[in-house]
Amino acid sequence: MLTLWVLLRSFVTDPVLRGALVNCAAISVLATMICLPLTTGRGAVFWPWRRDVAISICVAAGGLVVLACLRAWNAADPLRDLFATFAVSLPFTILAAAAYVRHRRLVVRALSFGARSGSLRRKLAANWPWLVVALVALAFVFIQLGITLGRPMRGGPLVLSLLLVLAGPHLDIAIERRGWRAVRSQGGELRGVLWRTFRIVAASSIFAILATLWVLPILDVAGISRGIIVLKAAEILMLVLVIAFCWNWVAILAARIRPPAPSEPQSGAFVIGTRLTTVGPVLVGLAKAGLLTLGALTILVMLGINVWPLITGLSIFGLAIGLGSQTLVKDVVAGLFFLVDDAFRHGEYIETSGAKGTVERISLRSVSLRHPRGAVATIPYGQIGKIQNFSREWVVEKMLFRVALDTDVEVVRKLFKKIGQEIAADPELNADLIEPFKSQGIGALEEGTLVIRGKYKARAGHQFQIRKAILSKVRITLQENNIKLVPKPLHVPQMGG
């Protein structure tokens, strides 16, 4: 009871002890919020690592309170130095380093969320446990140097800074998970944008706290006004948040209108996109470039820099580029008109004056066509010329069959009609068939053979499977009815003499 009374009295009268207790409470609250979440679902997998990290933080926080009590009670300096070393800094260093080394696979797994293999983020996640060990060990060395030189570092700000640095990546991943789930949900675009913007807020808050603890005192020593720095930083931060909100909104909309991926990458099949999926990537690129340019110019204006000479110089530079590269301007202008006219879309099969294939990529200057054999042709818009689009609405496929001269055309007509009815009744083909296959009578007489024509109408891009089925059935049906298909007459040039 007497000890508790002394502690309460010291807390009320001693500002040093009161500040230490407030710091301890803040550190404990942050440790509880970040390192000790509800252990249900996926959180239970990371429970061992979070438990060990929380223990190390609580040990350091409790030691700081005891150290503040010793300072308030005017304990001897050697006693306080020994307690700070062997009861605060050394246990925290050992426990934190052991927690990250022992559970390094869990840490890497947690920080690798959504990162592609071989990306910088995945490499940073793989090395993060060892970076934490190095950071904690370096902090311990600085603390011991300060004690040895008789200028000990402040324990509360140091532990708080370490906690923010260690918890920053994990907090960022947790916010990213929430934003990802919001975007994937139905109608969650706005919540996804807010969560992604909150990532910027969280990162900015961490940097602001670290700057307040360590950078602002240095500015005070250098004689720089703290108020001006804080005001400019707040203005720039608000602008960055607005730009980040708009950027994330554009990014989510771009993901929504992104052209669909091929359902069968091995066969080169493409899904035809809409007009929005075709023009969308170009508009998204222009919007992002405009946001970056506007944000950079606004920040320069906030810092008191005159941007008009820069704008004038860029205008003259752009005019010189335009005059010197007329072909580039021609390609860009022609591309804009092609996109406005909706001449082609992503995934459609087109033929130009120089190449043909499936539209695979559309940029501001050129279009890339994937040939059925696999080659990719990149054609500037200014060189496209005439375009034939084979993937719009419907196509009429005409077929030629050569039979003997004495074949009964009426029998062939009835057989073709029967084949057309069978194809129309096929559940795998009738969805793409608009008009059934039928005979068009005699198309030509070629050197003792009859050329009989047939046709059908199908959805554009889906006529090939129907063509295969018709050819197969025509061959079998004519063979069953003793009607022979004859080859095309071969003309052999006669030699003189």
Q: Are residues 31 and 172 in the same domain?
A: yes
pLDDT band at 8 (very low <50, low <70, confident <90, very high): very low
Higher pLDDT, 415 or 282: 415
What's the pLDDT at 382?
82
Q: Are residues 415 and 343 in the same domain?
A: no
Between CA 454 and CA 13 the distance in angstroms is: 103
Q: Are residues 411 and 429 in the same domain?
A: yes
Q: Are residues 160 and 63 in the same domain?
A: yes
CB atoms within 10 A of CB 225: 10
Q: Are residues 47 and 138 in the same domain?
A: yes
Instruction: Kindly report which listed range (132-146, 299-313, 428-442) carries the lowest average pLDDT score.
Output: 299-313
Q: Are residues 383 and 422 in the same domain?
A: no
pLDDT band at 268 (very low <50, low <70, confident <90, very high): very low
Does 147 fall in a domain?
Answer: yes
CB atoms within 10 A of CB 378: 13
Does 378 fall in a domain?
Answer: yes
pLDDT at 41 over 50: no
Between CA 286 and CA 318 the distance in angstroms is: 16
Q: Are residues 325 and 450 in the same domain?
A: no
Does 337 fall in a domain?
Answer: yes
Kindly state the average pLDDT of the residues 471-476: 88
Q: Are residues 420 and 468 in the same domain?
A: yes
Does 190 fall in a domain?
Answer: no
What's the pLDDT at 38?
39
Domain boundary among 356, 389, 422: 389
405's tokens? 């001269």
Q: Are residues 16 and 163 in the same domain?
A: yes
Higher pLDDT, 413 or 85: 413
Does 16 fall in a domain?
Answer: yes
CA 330 from centroid of its chain's CA atoms: 32
Q: What is the domain-level CATH number for residue 362?
A: 2.30.30.60
pLDDT digits (tens, 9 = 90+) for 358-385: 888 887 778 889 888 888 888 888 888 8
Share of the chain above pLDDT 70, in %: 75
**pLDDT, mean over the chain:** 75
Handedness of CA 362, 365, 368, 369 (dihedral sign): positive
Our count of domains for the chain comes to: 3
Residues facing 438 on adjacent strands: 455
Does 8 fall in a domain?
Answer: yes
336's tokens? 């804009």
Does 248 fall in a domain?
Answer: no
Between CA 396 and CA 461 the distance in angstroms is: 11
Q: Are residues 118 and 19 in the same domain?
A: yes
Domain boundary among 341, 366, 389: 389
Q: Is the CB of residue 350 less than 8 Å from the CB of residue 387? A: yes
What's the pLDDT at 17?
55
pLDDT at 140 over 80: yes
Domain boundary among 389, 421, 446: 389
**What are the C-alpha distances in Å from 300 to residues 62, 86, 193, 291, 310?**
46, 50, 26, 14, 11
What's the pLDDT at 277?
62
Q: 225, 99, 102, 230: which is closest to 167 by C-alpha?
A: 99
Q: What is the domain-level CATH number for residue 472?
A: 3.30.70.100
Q: Which phi and psi angles does 37 have, rounded to 5°?
A: -80, 180
pLDDT digits (tens, 9 = 90+) for 269-280: 445 555 566 666
pLDDT digits (tens, 9 = 90+) for 144-195: 777 777 666 666 677 777 777 877 887 788 788 887 777 777 666 677 777 8
What's the pLDDT at 1?
40
Query: Structure pTM?
Result: 0.53
Q: Are residues 14 and 138 in the same domain?
A: yes
pLDDT at 411 over 80: yes
pLDDT at 395 over 80: yes
Q: Are residues 71 and 171 in the same domain?
A: yes
Domain hosting residue 111, numbered range:
2-184
Does 246 fall in a domain?
Answer: no
pLDDT digits (tens, 9 = 90+) for 61-96: 777 777 777 777 777 777 777 777 788 788 888 888
